Amino acid sequence: MKKNYLSGIAMTLAMGCGGAMADGGDGVVNFTGSISDDTCTVATSAQTVNVELGTIATSNLSGSADRKAAPTSFKIALENCPSAINSANIKFDGKRDTDNSALLQLTNYGTNGVAEGVAVGIYDKSDNLIPLYSASSDYPLVAGNNELEFVARYVSTSNTVNPGSANATANFTLSYK
């Protein structure tokens, strides 16, 4: 009786393990990284950055998708960067525009009073688009204080741009190297 009971347990365990292996899918993704308290501090002034993109005429953006308004520079200040960190990149997260997923959708898009056919693009200091949820190129850091420079601008997402409020919000996350 004891032998049959142990055989039953062994069979159950083997079936459970075999089932887990059979449901494993087509591959494996391993996630690696580390969590550190030896990083820069985002300056208080950079924890919420307000970027005034101005009032742009619809005629400046209408006519085709991907027309760009004049750029507006902004900076994110970092303090107390340790010498062990040489660089950082940044990811901006927010609601993706429905016509161009690399761009930030306007707040309350699709509701009365909000501009249509336009979104916000965020660019690095060399004017390269940083698509939402994608890491920027690395910014070199020195020990102490640093400023990361960016550009934002309105970008048309359709042939016709309709007037209205054109606000957007993004969060950012820094990754250090």
Query: How many domains, in total, are found in the chain?
Result: 1
Q: How far is CA 36 from CA 39, 41, 79, 120, in A?
A: 7, 12, 16, 32
Report if residue 31 sits inside a domain: no
> pTM, whole model, 2 decimals?
0.81
Report if residue 27 sits inside a domain: no
Report if residue 60 sits inside a domain: yes
In the Cβ-directed half-sphere of 2, how many Cα atoms lie within 13 Å? 0
Report pLDDT for 38: 85
CATH of the domain at 100: 2.60.40.1090
What is the identity of the amino acid at 131? Answer: P
- Walk across the sheet containing 139-140 and list its strands: 139-140, 87-93, 171-176
Report if residue 82 sits inside a domain: yes
Pinpoint the alpha helices (H) of 24-120: 58-61
Report pLDDT for 22: 52
Q: Which residues, given as ranges, of the chain have pLDDT below 70?
A: 1-24
Q: What is the dihedral of CA 141, 142, 148, 149, to 10 degrees?
A: -110
Report if residue 137 sits inside a domain: yes
Report pLDDT for 3: 42
Report if residue 116 sits inside a domain: yes
Report pLDDT for 41: 95
Report pLDDT for 8: 43
Report pLDDT for 145: 98
Report if residue 21 sits inside a domain: no
pLDDT in tens, 107-130: 999 999 999 999 999 999 999 999
Report if residue 84 sits inside a domain: yes
Closest CA to 173 of 70, 47, 7, 58: 47
